[in-house]
Amino acid sequence: MLDLLPLIAGLAGLWLGTELVVRGAVRIAQRYGLSELFIGLTVLSIGSDLPELAVALDGGFRSLGGADVTGIVIGSAIGSAFAQLGLVLGAIGMIRPLLVPTRHLLRDGSMLVGSALLLVLLGLDSSITRIDGALMVAAFIAYLLLLVKQENTVSTTPVTRRHGVARSWIVLASGMALVILSSELTVAAATQLAERWQWPQYVVAIVLVGLGTSLPELSISLTAVFRRRGALSIGNLIGSNIFDTLIPIGMAAVINPLPFARKLLVFDIPYLILLSAIVLMFFQGDAKFTRFEAGSVLTLYCLFVVSKLLTDSTPM
């Protein structure tokens, strides 16, 4: 148990810092009258994914210096994507059935599956190069610009009240500083834990780090569900998954190319694509995400985690 304390402390710092970032960012966005779905897809998803990005950037600079932390970088990003789509969405759906905003489902669903397919295509040569990483970042920026353009078209009149904006920026900056410091502790602790337990870095990252860095999404989604703001929750989770698939790995690869294990191509990423497709299929039904569907998604996530613990017993 003592072995886990540094990792728990790092994850706790990431969670607290992200809570501050998201709180400040949402208040700033609300001042300009942005829609809940847009805030979920952009502000909340990017803000709540700061832990994954911070872990990836820290790992990228460590690998540039000669450290072998590739498993932590890739595993934490993919593990977080699985946890958000399987565990978080499944858990909140079990608590309360969700009404699904279908207006932009084709746009966001296509990007959700397309981002995973892009990762597969770029990893076919067993590496994510700097050019590959730049392409992944560019794909997300293009998607983000599309969201902004469409939001400008359909958004309501901006809110003119500006009281408290300065305080919101201070909260956001404080949260980002805490996230940066905590990411350093998290990567170091996860690397040491993998060596001590003689587990592959990827397994530690996907099971523990990926799950831990998904705590902000769980907190945000639970709050949104209890306040009956399903669009905010679903937008956050879809946006977070697109971000996790493209940005952390892409940014880390821009810093230093990443080796890409074959097992990711033959099992992990295809499983993520399958899970994404099943979730979208459920969403397209009657515009309601039922408890049965949530339970199915949650079961698929648990089966994935068990498979990693039982089969991945050799280093990547």
Structure confidence by residue, pLDDT tens digits, 251-279: 999 999 999 888 888 899 999 999 999 99
- Of residues 185 and 246, more confidence is placed in 246
Task: Flag whether pLDDT at 137 surpasses 70.
Answer: yes
pLDDT at 2: 64
Mean pLDDT throughout 12-33?
76
Task: Flag whether pLDDT at 105 surpasses 50.
Answer: yes
For residue 127, the cross-strand partners are: 259
Structural domain count of the chain = 1
Mean pLDDT throughout 143-154?
75
- Percent of all residues in the chain with a pLDDT value above 90, rounded to a whole number: 24
Q: Provide the Cα torsion 28, 34, 40, 41; round to 10°.
A: -110
Q: Provide the Cα torsion 74, 76, 78, 84; round to 10°.
A: -160
**37 domain-assigned:** yes
Task: Flag whether pLDDT at 298 surpasses 50.
Answer: yes
**43 domain-assigned:** yes
- Candidate from 83-92, 147-156, 307-316 with smallest mean pLDDT: 147-156
Mean pLDDT throughout 187-209?
77
**8 domain-assigned:** yes
Top-confidence range, 22-26, 130-134, 182-186, 311-315: 130-134
**Buried/exposed 232-254: b ≥16 CB within 10 Å, e otherwise:** bbbbbbbbbbbbbbbbbbbbbbb
Per residue in 58-81, pLDDT tens? Answer: 888 888 887 777 888 888 889 889
Q: How far is CA 249 from the centre of its chain?
A: 11
Work out the mean pLDDT of the chain and round it to a whole number. Answer: 81
pLDDT at 98: 78
For residue 258, the cross-strand partners are: 128
**315 domain-assigned:** no
Backbone phi, psi, residue 98, to 5°: -110, 135
**314 domain-assigned:** no
**316 domain-assigned:** no
**182 domain-assigned:** yes
CA–CA distance, 174 with 186 (Å, rounded to integer) = 18
**33 domain-assigned:** yes
- Of residues 214 and 276, more confidence is placed in 276
Q: Could you tell me the two tokens for 298?
A: 């949650």
pLDDT at 41: 67
CA–CA distance, 213 with 252 (Å, rounded to integer) = 17
**Cα 287 to Cα 37, 97, 290, 297, distances in angstroms:** 15, 10, 10, 16
Q: How confident is the model at residue 250 (pLDDT cuts 50, 70, 90)?
A: very high
pLDDT at 313: 52
CA–CA distance, 205 with 273 (Å, rounded to integer) = 19
**Cα 93 to Cα 29, 89, 104, 178, 207, distances in angstroms:** 26, 6, 20, 31, 22
- Strands 258-259 and 127-128, how do they pair? antiparallel
Mean pLDDT throughout 17-39?
72
- Of residues 17 and 163, more confidence is placed in 17
Q: How confident is the model at residue 159 (pLDDT cuts 50, 70, 90)?
A: very low
Domain at 7, CATH number:
1.20.1420.30
Angle at CA of residue 217, ends 297 and 35, nearest 5°: 105
Give the domain extent around 287.
2-157+165-308
Mean pLDDT throughout 41-55?
75
Q: How confident is the model at residue 316 (pLDDT cuts 50, 70, 90)?
A: very low
pLDDT at 157: 43
Q: How confident is the model at residue 302 (pLDDT cuts 50, 70, 90)?
A: very high
Mean pLDDT throughout 94-106?
76
pTM, whole model, 2 decimals?
0.79
Q: How confident is the model at residue 312 (pLDDT cuts 50, 70, 90)?
A: low
pLDDT at 230: 65
pLDDT at 146: 87
